[in-house]
Structure 1
């Protein structure tokens, strides 16, 4: 009989009855609309398994679900997650390159656990040299970079997706 727990690399849509052990790397909420209080459209979580493989989890649509998980997920903590759905990673700007993402809902069980020896991979760092190689970096994936800001440019107003948006450009350099 196979284990109830699977690794991130093995997650597929048919694994709704399986469970995963994952560490929360980043937890953030996407606001409903700018300037309208603290209402969230979704909650996004970047997680990794014991092998260091990353996957994106999302809580969408229902405000009460976002509130529920806001109290549970904390960066750096380890969790067992059961009764999740795996869906195609359809975001244009991806948090991970995994083919699937985890969708959490009212049936999903999330429990904080303590396990000795579970890896702690809180950053997905890219070197400045690798950033220069366009074959090594996707402009559609979020990554971590450590550097020093040496110049900040004036904010620019742009229309993105039919909405007015303010973008700021800055330049960083390697400390080495």
Structure 2
């Protein structure tokens, strides 16, 4: 290596060493969650021998480096301290780490002949039941997302945080990810060799992801809506059979009225009744309260189709919030209160979802809506491919039962 030292050659007695490294990861650590004050900047680096080492930049000199290091690029770094790896949760298990100081200098270098070791991937089998696994080491894994739980609001350290957890799967099993806040990074569908090789490995063995779901509750919750459905095989039914069952897989073919996607509801906790204008005021005829204004909530009527028929499904606020990602009031403000169809609403069209439905008894009188002889724009083979392919074009969601209440709408 000439003028550059390898990680294996580092010593705490040398502070004039120089290294040629590729940046695997760079991130800022805040003083506390939600704070704009920076505590430090961290780097994860690897040398030409694929040895990974951690580097720390103290807050006082972060401005010198904050925009200088780019993940994936190669740099020459000189004049740093070699100190003990004192972190509790470690990006690598090396004995030492680097600590930058006021004399540290760096320069971006050519990377054509420098090896690429951005990931240290571990198989799920190597993690499960491994008594020798160090629980303090932060490791890299790759997999296909097969189950996602709805975001949960949690208070952590006195600050509100939005948490979401999901399940990854490879050819050997499943694993659930828990983040380490600032350091954890989740990457999707990048055009890197590691991603391509993983997908090719699944195709080589003829592996297909079984149908999973997006659940309405997180595993952080006491009870999970997926407990029952994930414990046994999921049986698909057609729209024609929905009156004898409560789960149906279907594709959204359209929005019945894309400009009529919300209503103003009562502000009383637990009462989501639509407010009506009565004698010039907004009145809830369920709890008999009068409000100056209500809470905007989603109410979207979908046209859905499957291989055998079609129907109208009514989605309420909770389900729409999970699919669209923002509350109705915020979407209304972003739209500048326009009466034109919104992209966030029309984007629901063509999604293939697994619906869990609640049907009122009087809906059976409209059973003729589910006409098995009605032609579908997609052929049955194409439609099946959308459900069963391991390259499905959209996520498959399971929605919790909705309380239809006093709604007089016909959709289920």
TM range (shorter): 0.7 to 0.9
1:142 is displaced (CA, Å) by: 1.2
Find the counterpart in structure 2 of residue 56 from structure 1.
54
Q: Gaps spanning 5+ residues in structure 1: where?
A: none
Judging by fraction of residues, say which structure has more strand.
1
- In 2, Cα distance between the equivalents of 1:170 and 1:156? 15
TM-score (normalizing by structure 1): 0.85
Q: Which structure 2 segments of 5+ residues have no match?
A: 172-201, 203-412
CA RMSD of aligned residues (A): 2.2
CA 1:133–1:158: 2 relative to 1, 3 Å: farther
CA distance in 2, matches of 1:158, 1:172: 26
Select the structure of larger CA radius of gyration.
2
Q: Which has the higher helix share?
A: 2
Q: Does structure 1 residue 144 correspond to structure 2 residue 144?
A: no
Q: Distance in 1 between matches of 2:27 and 2:59?
A: 15
Secondary structure of the structure 2 residue equivalent to 1:101: strand
Match of 2:307?
none
Please name the residue that 2:67 is paired with.
71
What TM-score do the two structures reach when normalised by structure 2?
Answer: 0.38
Give the count of matched residue pairs. Answer: 169
CA distance in 2, matches of 1:116, 1:35: 39
SS at match of 1:68: helix
Report the Cα distance in structure 1 between the residues aligned to 2:89 and 2:24, rounded to whole angstroms. 18
Partner of 2:223: none
Question: Which one scores higher on RCO, CA 8 angstroms, separation ≥ 6?
Answer: 1
Q: Within 2, Cα distance between the matches of 1:131 and 1:164?
A: 33
Offset of residue 88 of structure 1 = 0.3
Task: Check conservation: 1:155, 1:169, Cα contact below 8 A.
Answer: no
In 1, the alpha carbon distance for the partners of 2:62 and 2:75 equals 17
- Cα separation, 2, equivalents of 1:129 and 1:174: 10
